[in-house]
Chains A and B, each alone.
Chain A
Amino acid sequence: MTSTEETFGRVCSVIAAELGCAECDLSAATTAEDVDGWDSLAHARLILSLEDHLNIRFPGEKLFELDCIGDLVSLADEALAPKKENTRVVA
């Protein structure tokens, strides 16, 4: 499994838990408009929850520019990259 696939799975699992939707209905192309209740407040809670689950911090300025779950996964991967880098160095 690639890191993006792994991140995608983790992101979808958090989205499903936070918004009460079925994980199997989510794809990289899913947008906020496709999911009931995904408004700006839910988005903020979701971001916080993802940050906690993935142990990352998203750059604030990019959070309103996301078009779909694929973008969110890419952003999460970017935030995770330095961590993975560090992990390899330590290992």
Chain B
Amino acid sequence: MSLLSFWKKYEQDTVSQRILERLDQTPDRLYARVHFADTTHSISYRRLAECAAPYAAACAKANLSAGDRVVVLKEQGPDLLYAFFGAIFAGAVPTILAPPSPRQDPAHFWRGHREVMDRIRAQLLFTTSKLKTELISFPTDHAVTAITEEDLPSTTRLPIPDTSSQDVAFLQHSSGTTGTKKGVMISHAALLHQVDAYARRLGLNERDHIVSWLPLYHDMGLIACCLLPVLSGVPVTMISPFDWTMRPTLLFDLIERAKASLVWQPNFAFQHLINCVRPDDNWDLSSVRAFIDCSERCRPETLDQFASKFGPMGVRKSSLHTCYAMAETVFAATQSEPGKAPRTETIDAQALVDEGVARPTLDTHATTSSVLSCGKPIDDVTVLIMDEEGNRLPDRRIGEICVSGPCLARGYDRQPEKSASVFREGWYHTRDLGYLSNGELFVTGRVDDLLILNGRNHYAHDLEFALRDTSGIVPGRIISFSEYREDLGSDVLIVLAETRETDTAALKTIKKNIRDKMLDETGLVPASIHLFPPLWLIKSTSGKISREATAQKYNSPAREEGLI
């Protein structure tokens, strides 16, 4: 499809209009079954419209103009969906932010969220009574009106939104600590293109049923398991991520009950299920035609273990899939072919590092690396590999993965410099490293210091900034990096710091301070914290601590010699 015909097709197409069409055609069809607070809520298109209407009316009552920002801060239940869609129906631009985790310090939680609300100049905050009360103690600089369920006007009539396809439909906020969250601007046109193209690639049909535990403040949860279902008419069953974390096999209960066919989750979640299912447990998982591994590096060994462990329950190798996705392209840029197991390549690891080439090898003596294909680009999306000067690289050469197409985001909200650094001349520069082979994408690493932990992105320098004032640490001498743990199927966070202390009790206190600060500021728990004497961490020629060189030293015998 040419760009012109694409724009023509999507010119007046908006999320609200698509949902209203479904409401008109199949008002009582199930959209979502949401398990929340020991109750199962079945939401049809009619119920979605009726329950979203009071939120839309609240936007109108607050005199919101089209495009005004609305923050949705609620636990993952039906009300979160109603608030999000209510804002969209009103022509406002909602963004879902993560609610506080049970162990998070409210002061730190609100500091990060206040900064986001101030930057995007949120007019309204749809939230709960508890969080509304807390907000009074942590006010934003910019006036934001908090609205709870009790404050909503009583109506079931939806307004007619004054939006066009090129308007921003919602903001997708990236993870990160204070000051580093970015609000990716997704237009109606980009979203609808993504949904249509991705539905075609997956061959979505009316017999499909999606099951999800993913949080809706994450792009995989919001796009694949909330918007794709509502816009394509495929029902979804949702549980809260907290419930899933504690009882991961709830996912299998739901698959069996709903005879679900599609599941998305990051690589660590496949491993968590492998680790948490007892040998004598049993479910019928044969209804799933695609378990899709996404949002962090897809590991062939994890999918092999998953197929092996759950094969007797009906999981086939051909039902395990991969996807390369990010909020900046709405969601999927590539997806492996349905019904066919994605290809794994065994390449020469030395050639990868020394020559920047992905050379397949059968040499059993060579150090090899197994890389899983993320499939081919979805319709109208182009994926290229570029070198540092922006030159296109041939097949099998390692470079930066760049994506172009009609589902590209409009940039980061009110952050023009950050937008300009990665959205250039129609291309989104992902900072991921990879190569192409016969049109299929293989992801091999990162250009920068982004750490992907349990499917969420965090910048190492940002984590170090969060720990900068930790008492007992030599100022500026702290470093964080990630390390892959095969037993977890994901990277874990390692923190190294220098201290002049030698007393055992004092060292324990410093470690506890680091742990507490990291949890409060970022919600992360380091897998290991190691303390070293001054000058153990390696500085680069620019005077900064070299993350790569220090990580290498950490993985050498020098670690044991230096540890205090």
Contact = CB atoms under 8 A, between A and B. Distances in A.
Interface string B267-301: 01000100110100000000000000000000000
Contact of A39 (B248, B275, B525): B525
B278 A33 contact: no
Nearest to B527: A37
Contact of A33 (B245, B275, B512): B512
Contacts of A44: 245-248, 272, 276
Interface string A41-54: 11111011000100
A43 B246 contact: yes
Given A37-B492, A43-B246, 20 more contacts: A32-B103, A33-B516, A34-B512, A34-B515, A36-B529, A37-B526, A37-B527, A37-B528, A39-B525, A40-B245, A41-B268, A42-B525, A44-B246, A44-B248, A44-B272, A45-B275, A48-B276, A63-B246, A64-B242, A64-B246
A42 B511 CA distance: 19
Contact of A52 (B102, B275, B278): B278
A75 B36 CA distance: 24
A27 B492 CA distance: 26
With most chain A CB atoms within 10 A of its CB, the pick from B247, B511, B525 is: B525
A47 B278 CA distance: 13
21 contacts: A32-B103, A33-B515, A33-B519, A34-B515, A36-B528, A37-B492, A39-B524, A39-B525, A40-B101, A40-B242, A41-B268, A41-B488, A42-B525, A44-B246, A44-B247, A44-B248, A48-B276, A60-B246, A60-B247, A63-B246, A64-B242
A34 B248 CA distance: 25
A15 to B, nearest CB: 15
B350 interface: no
A60 B103 CA distance: 17
Contacts of B247: 44, 60
Interface in A45-91: 45, 47-48, 52, 60, 63-64
Interface in B229-260: 242-243, 245-248
B166 interface: no
Interface in A18-38: 32-34, 36-38
Contacts of A32: 103, 525
Contacts of A37: 492, 525-528
Interface string B96-111: 0000011100000000
B103 A41 contact: no
B437 interface: no
B445 to A, nearest CB: 23
Nearest to B277: A48
A38 B515 CA distance: 10
Interface size class of B (residues with CB under 8 A): 20 to 34
Nearest to A66: B102
Nearest to A63: B246
B272 A38 contact: no
A40 B488 CA distance: 13
Contacts of B515: 33-34, 36
B272 A41 contact: yes
A39 B488 CA distance: 12
B454 interface: yes
A41 B527 contact: no
B478 to A, nearest CB: 16
Nearest to B512: A34
A38 B511 CA distance: 14
Contacts of B276: 44-45, 48
Nearest to B487: A45
B523 to A, nearest CB: 9
A63 B275 CA distance: 18
Contacts of A38: 525
Interface in B70-128: 101-103
Contact of B526 (A34, A36, A40, A45): A36
Contacts of A52: 278
A33 B518 CA distance: 10
Contacts of B268: 41
Contact of B527 (A36, A47, A60, A64): A36
Nearest to B269: A41
Contacts of B245: 40-41, 43-44
A64 B528 contact: no
A21 to B, nearest CB: 11
Those 5 A-B pairs whose CB atoms lie nearest each other, nearest first: A39-B525, A37-B527, A40-B245, A64-B102, A44-B246
A52 B278 CA distance: 9
Nearest to B276: A48
Nearest to A48: B276
B481 to A, nearest CB: 15
A60 B511 CA distance: 31
Nearest to B524: A39
A48 B528 CA distance: 22
B348 to A, nearest CB: 33
Contact of B246 (A34, A36, A47): A47
With most chain B CB atoms within 10 A of its CB, the pick from A32, A36, A44, A64 is: A36
Nearest to A35: B515
A41 B213 CA distance: 14
Contacts of B519: 33
